[in-house]
Chains A and B, each alone.
Chain A
């Protein structure tokens, strides 16, 4: 884009798309806090802003005064003093005292953030490339939360929905007024779970468990994003927390548990090719598409193509092996056996073997995956 066009279009943009059009003004401060933690952080930041702002203005004022008055062009003669022990002691001790004054509330805030005991419920959050899994440990169920903004909306020309890149298919639903303890971990690389309004940011680290807590004040939708560079789709890993009143939450929980019981896959069911393909396309779209692309062509140099791939078109067992166990050679290819059910793996393999230019006509039944799972202990 040429510079004149760049400047021209942006000037026009600034005039046309003022806050009224977007309904969102450009924020100058932290997002409105919705938990005691976030409020504490907000207040602490305000205090720091005032203190540092005052120091800056003071420094600026003295400097500007000197620049205006003590210049050669107005005939000011230099006074060659170059030390003064008293002022040096003052401007060493005074900042120390200011820092001590800051350290006191800061310490209390840190201790508060870290006190995760006495929880009412516990959620385990697992970061995956590039989605979040939420497990309700008290109720023994969980689900995966994916970006819900369609990929087409990222094209330059598309009209973008209001919550572009900040919407998911399955938000984390939680009750208000309950102390929620989070246990965070990751499956592949380090991710970071950040919801500004809840005052939480905590890295999710593979192989380790970290904890954090919050208690939401009032019902609402709170949005955030992964904040640790986790690879290609780092920018497309939103977090949505749907906080509901305890009654609403209880209703949602009951409905959710019933729905789960009703829709559970029977791993011994025998599927038809068409049904498996259809199911597999969904699984593919949620899990495989970011790397291997909708076209199955992959991203040359980074992620191999599945369309025409010798593994996908060759021996079924090899195909199952790599989907189930991941790739030793290329760690970006995950071990999906840990993440997906037997039915989902069977479906996605069937889909891959019969999508794009691949036309093996073969299908893989969930029982075959169960055999692998059993065999792998």
Chain B
């Protein structure tokens, strides 16, 4: 395959040492940086969550005063969204997209370096804010004005961090869009691309569309705080609800920014382990696109209790309910892919099935929340906390685990330890449910979210949730151990470790060479990136 390609390059160089990472322009190195960064932020955000659960283990104030508690919830949310989930998906896209579509690298290699290296300073600002006078931002990850206007300088650091994070993710997204549009190998039509590429493409468009909106919202908070504007101050002619509209116009598509790549991953993993082509590929593409479009039209369902007129409530209720249709189509397609398959249950498949199961629960509780009249009882309660953790932990995080296990052999040339991977899955599945399922009941029973102390009737389920959270957190160490061990001592992976995998990345040697596809391969592809034949495509 690599017939003479190496000879044609002047230097088949692979940089070494610190410079390899600091000045990285190779999509695989940058992808790895993203993934490691995201995982470390996942641990930091997870520790904050465990602090929250420790405090909520019993009624009363045990470990944290309310002001610090609010900082913990705020930073947990911000770090998980912007530090863990989003960079992890960007990292995966960086790593896998060029391999899956036959590109030499990402389109803008140096911009890629910059978009990664903006993340550590941004996250440092966020973490630094814990130690400034007044502490970190304490208005929830939504940073609602006017509360966020009241806070101390931790809020300013947060705003600055969000600006930097926004720049980073927009650059990452532009890179993904341009790579997919321009650098596909001959023979890879758009309607043949792997679903992961489609999902990444649509996600990238969402990011480009909404990150500036968030930047606008927090900039208005910043000028309200320091420059005498009154965007959100009714006494000065502003409107506190304006902030929520602007924020959720970003925030709702953001939910799908964290969900669509997961759909893409699962659409690669399920066909592989069912040994069947993805069912309804084109309807998957259309469903994903329509979810992307609809996600812009439903933002105010986060604001049903702000007191909008009945007509507005009805519009946003109908539009929100409508999202269930394409989402349902996707779930049915995955199950139809499994149906009459020849399934095996390696760790990536387990996480993908876990994803479908739990994401369905999250989606169905979303239908319940979409009904404005019922949302009156559930808004701002623990029911919402349960709902979005089913979507974001069981959705985004489980799919990420699935992806890492799935592509680990290709990335590293070694197999992970299957038994540990399976243990990680079953452990996570069990304790995830122990943690978050009771939160539905807490919300129904009337427990508001974001409170550091609660009435006695909420004690039982909070205890269960706290125990679950600690065990779930502990289980993630299994993953870390597995990865660290396998990187060094894992069995050598074959080029094609999964019998049913048939996309382009598996045509490359394992581990994926430092420079793949220095010449575009001539492809003949089918739906979902299935490679029918391939000629040439040099690597170094």
Stretch at the interface among A221-229, A260-268, A311-319: A221-229
In chain A, what residue has the closest Cβ to B307? A210
List 5 tightest A-B contacts by C-beta distance, closest first.
A207-B234, A235-B451, A109-B373, A210-B307, A227-B380
Bound form: Cα–Cα A229–B138 in Å: 9
Bound form: Cα–Cα A79–B343 in Å: 11
Contact mask for chain B residues 349-378; partner A; CB cutoff 8 A; 1 contact, 0 none: 000010011001100110110011110110
Pick 29 A–B contacts, CB within 8 A, sort by A.
Answer: A10-B463, A41-B376, A52-B367, A55-B364, A62-B339, A63-B335, A63-B338, A71-B345, A72-B343, A76-B342, A81-B340, A82-B337, A113-B376, A154-B61, A155-B61, A160-B59, A194-B446, A196-B377, A200-B376, A201-B379, A203-B307, A206-B146, A225-B446, A226-B448, A227-B448, A234-B450, A236-B453, A302-B134, A302-B135
In which size bucket is the chain B interface?
Answer: 35 or more
User: Measured between C-beta atoms, what is the minimum distance from A4 to chain B in Å?
Assistant: 11
User: Is A138 located at the chain interface by the 8 A CB criterion?
Assistant: no
Do the beta carbons of B341 and A66 come within 8 Å of each other?
yes
Known A26-B460, A80-B277, A106-B373: A71·B342 in contact at CB below 8 Å: yes
Do the beta carbons of A56 and B364 come within 8 Å of each other?
yes
Do the beta carbons of A30 and B310 come within 8 Å of each other?
no
Contact mask for chain A residues 38-60; partner B; CB cutoff 8 A; 1 contact, 0 none: 10110011001100110110011
Do the beta carbons of A229 and B70 come within 8 Å of each other?
yes
Do the beta carbons of B373 and A41 come within 8 Å of each other?
yes
Do the beta carbons of A235 and B321 come within 8 Å of each other?
no
Bound form: Cα–Cα A72–B525 in Å: 26
Interface residues of B in 270-306 (CB under 8 A from A): 274-281, 283, 305-306
Residues of B in contact with A (beta carbons under 8 Å apart): 54, 57-62, 65-67, 70, 132-135, 138-140, 144, 146-147, 149-150, 152, 233-235, 239-241, 274-281, 283, 305-307, 309-310, 313-314, 317-318, 321-322, 324-325, 328-329, 331-332, 335-345, 353, 356-357, 360-361, 364-365, 367-368, 371-374, 376-377, 379-381, 441, 444-446, 448-457, 459-461, 463, 466-467, 470, 474, 500, 527
| Pick from B138, B317, B318, B342: contact of A78, CB under 8 Å | B342
Contact mask for chain A residues 280-324; partner B; CB cutoff 8 A; 1 contact, 0 none: 000000000000000000011110000000000000000000000
Do the beta carbons of B134 and A26 come within 8 Å of each other?
no
Do the beta carbons of B60 and A160 come within 8 Å of each other?
yes
Do the beta carbons of B445 and A106 come within 8 Å of each other?
no
Do the beta carbons of B147 and A189 come within 8 Å of each other?
yes
Do the beta carbons of B448 and A194 come within 8 Å of each other?
yes
Interface residues of A in 100-124 (CB under 8 A from B): 102-103, 106-107, 109-114
Bound form: Cα–Cα A22–B458 in Å: 11
B58 partner residues in chain A, CB cutoff 8 A: 156
Do the beta carbons of B310 and A332 come within 8 Å of each other?
no
A91 partner residues in chain B, CB cutoff 8 A: 328-329, 332
User: Is A141 located at the chain interface by the 8 A CB criterion?
Assistant: no
User: Is A270 located at the chain interface by the 8 A CB criterion?
Assistant: no
Bound form: Cα–Cα A184–B241 in Å: 14
Bound form: Cα–Cα A205–B232 in Å: 11
Stretch at the interface among A163-171, A351-359, A364-372: A163-171
Bound form: Cα–Cα A132–B503 in Å: 61
Q: A203-B306, A207-B239 are in contact. List 13 more A-B contacts (CB 8 A).
A: A26-B441, A63-B338, A70-B338, A73-B344, A84-B336, A155-B60, A199-B377, A229-B140, A235-B454, A236-B66, A302-B135, A331-B150, A332-B150
Do the beta carbons of A56 and B361 come within 8 Å of each other?
yes
User: Is A16 located at the chain interface by the 8 A CB criterion?
Assistant: no
Do the beta carbons of B305 and A27 come within 8 Å of each other?
no
Bound form: Cα–Cα A87–B283 in Å: 12
Do the beta carbons of B365 and A95 come within 8 Å of each other?
no
Known A155-B60, A196-B377: A160·B456 in contact at CB below 8 Å: yes
User: Is A88 located at the chain interface by the 8 A CB criterion?
Assistant: yes
User: Measured between C-beta atoms, what is the minimum distance from B119 to chain A in Å?
Assistant: 27
B379 partner residues in chain A, CB cutoff 8 A: 192, 201, 227
B337 partner residues in chain A, CB cutoff 8 A: 82
B241 partner residues in chain A, CB cutoff 8 A: 205, 208
